[in-house]
Chains A and B, each alone.
Chain A
Amino acid sequence: MIEERIKELTQQIVQRFKDSGYDVNAKEVEKRLKLLILEFKVPESEAKRTITNYLLKELDIPRESLITESELVKVADITKPNQWVSLKVKVVQLWDSNSPSISQVGLVGDETGTIKFVIWAKADKDPVEEGKCYLFKNVVTDSFAGRMQINVNKNSEISEIDEEITLPPREIEVVGALISIQQNSGLIRRCKTCNRVMSKGVCPIHGKVEGYDDLRIKGVIDDGENVYEVVLNEQNIKNLTGIGLKEAKEIAEEFLDRTAVLAELKKRLLGKYFKLVGDRGERYLIVKNIEFLRIDVKKEVEKLINSLEA
């Protein structure tokens, strides 16, 4: 099984060099692959990259002359980590990078969806600009905190393209049932420095710090066809339930238990239908406006009965 896979990988590497006009020794490639994969247990993609780099150095070939052949894919096709792909995307958003090893981080997208991207400082690329469209060639897919992302490294190429890519509308309207409210909802505490949610008085970045109270709901709206992970802020919650931050603190004090707030919110909101408008983010739908669904059920029922009798 693994032997076959190594033959396959060997073939891929040899072919890549051949396509660029260079002949490499397949036996040599296979020997090195075996050493790295079987002996040293190096992941396939790393082994492939290491050997490619070795060959480039050995044959004294400039990297640019190596034709790359990563498949051109759509954002929605990216479901597995460690795949080399190419994408035509628009830069939707640039985020603040909080690490010196990251040159740029943000969101890119095409007509099928959006995905987080990371350009490593080591990749040494010219910066991309929000709103412009690019071909991201030879980037590596990765999964981070359960979500897919793409990484731009030294071997990747970014070039601006003269094509307009239309993204699915960011703002959408949804009618569906709130079928789940996550445990980390309700009266929460955030870090004063970075606004992250703290757990037992500890911020995941800044450790034991003073925090401030906030009210939020992370939940799932499901319309029977699609699933939307939603975030409701204090204002959304207050509009729906009359419970704002002040009222939530009062509930917590009365029961001497902060989780009493979550229990109360669940009682009022879980299993009910809502109509909402929100902005689609990388993962969550950030709710702008949400209300209990009000609908003329009688009219709907009559319509359906008529359609059945037709």
Chain B
Amino acid sequence: MTTFRRREVARRIFATEFNKATHKLQDDEERSPVYVLTPLGLRCNRVFVVGALLEKEEVRPDSGIWRIRVSDPTGVFLGFVGRYQPEALESLLEIEPPELVAIAAKVRVFEGDRTMVFLRPENIAVVTSDVRDYWVVETAKATIGRIENFEKGDDDDVKLARQIYSVDLNEYRNAVKQALLTIMESFVEPEEIEEEIEEEETEEEEIEDLDLEFEFEEEEWDLSDLLKEE
């Protein structure tokens, strides 16, 4: 008996909230979708991300699995694209980083020495900065909504998130604000541009930090199961 399943919504989430998610949710029922629960109590199976594709690198020569790093104003999303995602792979091979991209992706959880989440893109498209700007606005709104919901705290998923994660809401408020401010920078008048360049430099340093945080030996992983279709 096949039960009709609705398509999963692509959630809007900043890297800073996404990367802290470690808790996997799945019903006992066979082939039921996998969700991750984020610290702010969002249950997500699919995301839509707009950011800068910083790197693409084949995990091992001729493995056909590509590791990508995509940055939003708050941090970096890690992703893997393999032969089970032909549409995403086809476009990825044509893109030379750095480039602004929009990615619709499934969320996957790797459970090894340490649990981490990554993206399994369904498709990747090159976009312009106005798409990125609107994504930041949309994602800021969604995150603020989750923060408010978390404060109320009567939602079941929020209750669960409170048990699992130690959450400092100010951290998320600041991340949202920081993201919005980087968008504001693109509206400043030309004479203020010097200041803007400085800002950008500090941001790059932050990205470097994150880079270190994400060093790991994915050669040892068997990703093939995680990359398969559900």
Q: Show the binding face of A for B, using Cβ within 8 Å.
A: 79-82, 143, 146-148, 177, 179-180, 220, 222, 224-227, 229, 266-267, 270-273, 293, 295, 297-298, 300-302, 304-305, 307-308
A308 to B173, CA, bound (A): 7
Interface residues, chain B, CB within 8 Å of chain A?
1-4, 6-12, 48, 50, 91, 101-104, 122-127, 130-131, 133-138, 140-142, 144, 173, 176-177, 180-181, 183-184, 187
CB distance B123 to A180 under 8 Å? yes
21 pairs of residues in contact across A and B, judged by CB atoms under 8 Å = A180-B122, A220-B7, A222-B9, A224-B9, A224-B11, A224-B138, A224-B142, A225-B9, A227-B9, A266-B91, A271-B102, A271-B124, A295-B134, A297-B130, A300-B137, A301-B140, A304-B141, A304-B144, A307-B144, A308-B173, A308-B177
Shortest 5 CB-CB distances between A and B: which pairs?
A: A271-B102, A271-B125, A179-B104, A270-B125, A224-B12
**Residues of B with C-beta under 8 A to A302:** 184
In the complex, A297→B133 CA distance in Å?
Answer: 7
CB-based contact B6/A227 at 8 Å: yes
What residues of A have a CB within 8 angstroms of the CB of B103 in the complex? Answer: 271
Looking at the complex, which one of B4, B104, B133 makes contact with A79 (CB distance below 8 Å)?
Answer: B4
Interchain CB contact (< 8 A) of B180 among A179, A266, A272, A301:
A301
CB within 8 A of A272: which of B7, B102, B140, B176? B102
Contact of A179 among B2, B10, B140 (CB under 8 A): B10
Tell whether, in the assembled complex, residue B137 and residue A301 are in contact, meaning their CB atoms are under 8 Å apart.
yes
Please count the residue pairs between chain A and chain B whose beta carbons lie under 8 angstroms apart in the complex.
105
Q: Which among A80, A146, A222, A301 has the greatest number of chain B C-beta atoms within 10 A?
A: A301
Among candidates B10, B126, B127, residue contacting A224 with C-beta atoms closer than 8 Å: B10
Q: Chain A residues with Cβ under 8 A from B124's Cβ? A: 271
Q: How far is the CB of B82 from chain A (nearest CB, A)?
A: 18
A304 near B9: Cβ-Cβ < 8 Å: no
Residues of chain A lying within 8 A (CB to CB) of residue B127: 271-272
For the complex, what is the distance from the CA of A44 to the CA of B126, rounded to whole Å?
52
B104: nearest chain-A partner, CB-CB = A179
Closest Cβ of chain A to B31, distance in Å, is: 15
A143 to B7, CA, bound (A): 16
CA distance A225 to B13 in the complex (A): 12
Question: Residues of B contacting A295 with CB < 8 Å?
Answer: 134, 137
Asked if A272 contacts B3 (CB within 8 A), the reply is no
Q: Decide if A271 touches B4 in the complex (CB within 8 Å).
A: no
Give me 6 other A-B pairs in contact (C-beta within 8 A), A222-B48, A271-B126, A301-B140 excluded.
A81-B2, A177-B102, A177-B135, A266-B123, A266-B125, A271-B123
- Considering the complex, give the chain B residue whose CB is closest to the CB of A141: B4
- Does the CB pair B10–A222 fall under 8 Å? yes
Chain A nearest Cβ from B91, distance in angstroms: 8
Contact between B1 and A81 (Cβ–Cβ < 8 Å)?
A: yes
Q: How far is the CA of A295 from the CA of B124 in the complex (A)?
A: 23
Task: Give the docked Cα–Cα distance between A146 and B7 (Å).
Answer: 12
Cα A56 to Cα B11 with chains together (Å): 54
Min CB–CB distance B133 → chain A (angstroms): 5
Bound Cα distance from A271 to B136, whole angstroms: 14
Q: How far is the CB of B103 from chain A (nearest CB, A)?
A: 8
Query: In whole angstroms, what is the CA distance A227 to B9 when docked?
Result: 6
- Residues of chain B within 8 A of A224, CB atoms compared: 9-12, 48, 138, 142
Q: Which residues of B contact A148 (CB under 8 A)?
A: 4
Residues of B within 8 A of A147 (CB): 4
Q: Across the two chains, which residue of chain B brings its CB closest to A225?
A: B9
A69 to B173, CA, bound (A): 53
Complex Cα spacing A270 to B104, Å: 10
* Cβ-defined contact, B176 with A308, below 8 A: yes
Q: Which residues of B contact A301 (CB under 8 A)?
A: 133, 136-137, 140, 180, 183-184
Measured between beta carbons, the chain B residues less than 8 angstroms from A143 are 2, 4
Specify which chain B residues have a CB less than 8 angstroms from the CB of A273 in the assembled complex.
Answer: 131, 134
In the bound complex, residues from chain B placing their C-beta under 8 Å from that of A220 are 7
Provide the bound-state CA to CA distance between A80 and B50, in Å: 36
- Which residues of chain A have C-beta atoms less than 8 A from B10's C-beta? 177, 179, 222, 224, 227
Cα separation A271 to B141 with both chains bound (whole Å): 19
Bound-state Cα–Cα, A229 to B6, Å: 11
Cα A148 to Cα B173 with chains together (Å): 42
Q: Which of A224, A267, A270, A271 has the most CB of B within 10 A?
A: A271
A227-B7 contact, Cβ under 8 Å, with A222-B48, A266-B125, A307-B144: yes
Q: Is the CB of B180 within 8 A of A305?
A: yes
Q: Does A297 lie within 8 Å of B50, measured CB to CB?
A: no
